[in-house]
Amino acid sequence: MQEVLQRLEKIDNLEDLESLRIEILGKKGILAQQFIKLKDFQGEAKKIFAQELNTYKEEFETLLMEKKATLSQAQMHAKLAQESLDASLFTTLRPKSEGHPIMQTMDRIIEFFVNMDFSIQDGPLIEDDFHNFEALNLPAYHPARDMQDTFYFKDSMLLRTHTSPVQVRTMENSSLPIRMIAPGSVFRRDYDLTHSPMFHQVEGLVVDSKDKVNFANLKYILEDFLHYMFGDVRIRFRSSFFPFTEPSAEVDISCVFCKGEGCRVCSHTGWLEVLGCGIVNQKVFDNLSYEDVSGYAFGLGVERFAMLIHRINDLRSFFETDLRVLEQF
């Protein structure tokens, strides 16, 4: 054993260790040969010799295992030292991006409502008349259709003018309770400082039994939401009209530019309109054969939010892909 110990000590790689293992424990190894000799012994002597051999075997195996562990570890350290990489080294010089300001704003809006347990729903950009207008209590020749300058295709197909058709599609396909938002792009024939023919909205809809949904719930969640987006602003609900909600309201925040003092941006009123909302009109439920339910809905323009958050006065700069502008976000 003493001799074996000395040899073990000197070994400094796994290959030599393996040779030693075979020499001692292998099929034709030293131990195997000793075990053959067992047959020459009898009785008590045989027993003692066998015991000695087994003890020797166990001890050697333990030593072998320990040595193997030390050697593997040393080998790994050596390898890591060789392969070290410099994480501070530049690889590509691609400019870093935090995303487009519209998408940043959209993400923040979505984050709020997802935390409030709203699901995210999607719908087609090319809509039919029923989903964009008819089901929302906007029949043909209804004067309120003029509120939304529509791009039409043939066969009464159109580019959706708002995200409200996703309300209709969700109600067609879901069971109660419904608690959804629909973020997405919408289209209107409009182009000036504050309008672009393509812009983004986030729609919200909650439908449940009559005792569970009312205007107070709507007011509470929108106030919470607007404080989340704009910080410490005052909020007011102003009575308004949408064909698909009754009663309807528009929501204003105190002007973020002049803090309500009155300035050019808020037309010296001290208030900025930021979203439309209301209790879902019973006619909408009738159109979709929903009975004994109540709902609230709201819709907002993402560009408008982004303009107010970043104090931008020309909406079109979001879409001009001028990196000098976009890189500021």
Considering the rule CB under 6 A, would residue 278 count as an interface residue with ligand PHE? yes
- Binders of ligand PHE in range 102-131 (CB under 6 A): none
Nearer to ligand PHE by Cβ, of 131 and 162: the residue is 162
Q: Which of 64, 218, 221, 297 is in the footprint of ligand PHE by CB under 6 A? A: 297
Select the span of 57-65, 172-180, 215-223, 275-283 touching ligand PHE (CB under 6 A). Answer: 275-283
Instruction: Fill in the per-residue mask, 57 to 96: x = in contact with ligand PHE (CB under 6 A), - = not in contact.
Output: ----------------------------------------
CB closest to ligand PHE, residue no: 299
Work out how close the CB of 167 gets to ligand PHE at its nearest, in angstroms, rounded to a whole number. Answer: 7
- Give the type of residue at 54: N
Work out how close the CB of 145 gets to ligand PHE at its nearest, in angstroms, rounded to a whole number. Answer: 12
- Binders of ligand PHE in range 184-203 (CB under 6 A): 203
Within 13 Å, how many C-alpha atoms sit on residue 147's CB side? 11
Q: Which of 101, 184, 243, 276 is in the footprint of ligand PHE by CB under 6 A? A: 276
Nearer to ligand PHE by Cβ, of 183 and 278: the residue is 278
Q: Which of 245, 254, 281, 294 is in the footprint of ligand PHE by CB under 6 A? A: 245
| Three-state DSSP string of the chain | CHHHHHHHHHCCCHHHHHHHHHHHHCCCCHHHHHHHHHHHCCHHHHHHHHHHHHHHHHHHHHHHHHHHHHHHHHHHHHHHHHHCCCCCCCCCCCCCCCCCHHHHHHHHHHHHHHHCCCEECCCCCEEEHHHHCHHHCCCCCCHHHHHCCCCECCCCEEECCCCHHHHHHHHHHCCCCEEEEEEEEEECCCCECCECCEEEEEEEEEEEECCCCCHHHHHHHHHHHHHHHHCCCCEEEEEEEECCEEEEEEEEEECCCCCCCCCCCCCCCCEEEEEEEEEECHHHHHHCCCCCEEEEEEEEEHHHHHHHHHCCCCHHHHCCCCHHHHCCC
Work out how close the CB of 199 gets to ligand PHE at its nearest, in angstroms, rounded to a whole number. Answer: 10
Select the span of 7-15, 70-78, 217-225, 296-304 touching ligand PHE (CB under 6 A). Answer: 296-304
Considering the rule CB under 6 A, would residue 277 count as an interface residue with ligand PHE? yes
- CA dihedral for 57, 59, 61, 67, sign (positive or negative): negative
Q: Six-digit token pair at 28?
A: 């034709």
The annotation status of 172 as a binding-site residue, yes or no, is no
Instruction: Fill in the per-residue mask, 129 to 168: x = in contact with ligand PHE (CB under 6 A), - = not in contact.
Output: ---------------------------------x-x----
Considering the rule CB under 6 A, would residue 299 count as an interface residue with ligand PHE? yes
Residues annotated in the binding site, as ranges? 246
Tell me which residues touch ligand PHE (CB under 6 A).
162, 164, 203, 242, 245, 276-278, 297-299
Residues annotated in the binding site for Mg(2+), as ranges? 246
